[in-house]
Every structure is written in structure tokens, then in C-alpha cells.
Amino acid sequence: MLLDYRQTGIDAFNAEDYETAIESLETATLADRDDFRAFTYLGAAYAQVGRYNSAIGAFKHASALKPDVAKVHYNLAQAYEAAGVPAEAWFSYKKALEIDPYYQPAKTALILLGSRMTMMREQRLQLAV
């Protein structure tokens, strides 16, 4: 039964029906707090509809279940960036790279984020002068 909710949610996610995915995956995760796959898809579905704080919560739970999965930390970082929390995104990208130093999406995102953070600091310094 629980696998049905998870699979229904995954199928809906893959069909880009994110609201149905969220509904089914929320049911699956409420019933089984250890379902890593359901939490991962739930985070992705939340992110697709702009519910970044909810995505962060789902990805954090998934990362607690399996802390050695680089992609989850990368997805968490993406959600932090979208939510406007660049410092937390930076730490999550770094964690992804600690797990897998060759994970190219995290490398690229970390470089780009570092550049944006530097520009933001410089802009703040100019405003302070």
C-alpha cells in the first residue's frame, strides 16, 4: 500500500504532475519516515512548484537517512539557492563534493555560487562607503 503511494508519486513526478506527486509522496512519507526515495522525490516535487522551504525540509530528511549520497546534498543546495540562502547552499555543495569529489554538477554550481557571493559582498561594500 505504501509503495503504491510512493510509486504513484514518482509516476506523477515523471509526468510533470507535481501537485499529484506531492500529495502521494506526502502520504508515503507520513506513513514511512525512513523512505529515502519518497523524501528525495518529494523534495524535487516541492522545488518544481516553488515550495523551496518544503523542499529543503524533505532533502534534509533524505540526507539524514542516507548522508553519503552526493546528489541529495546537491539538491539540498539547489533548494537553498532558490530560497535565497546562499551560505547554506555553499555548505551543501561542499558536502556533496566531500562525498564525491568528481560530482561535476556540484563543482560547477559551487564555482558559480562563489562568484555570485563575491559579487554580492563587493556590492555591499560599495553601498557601505
* DSSP 8-state class, residue 66: -
Question: 75-113: b or e for each residue (b if 16 or more CB lie within 10 Å)?
Answer: bbbbbbbbbebbebbbebbebbbebbeebeebeebbeeb
Sketch out the chain's domains with CATH numbers. Answer: 1-66 (1.25.40.10), 67-129 (1.25.40.10)
* pLDDT per residue rounded down to tens, the chain (129 residues): 556 999 999 999 999 999 999 999 999 999 999 999 999 999 999 999 999 999 999 999 999 999 999 999 999 999 999 999 999 999 999 999 999 999 999 999 999 998 887 776 666 656 655
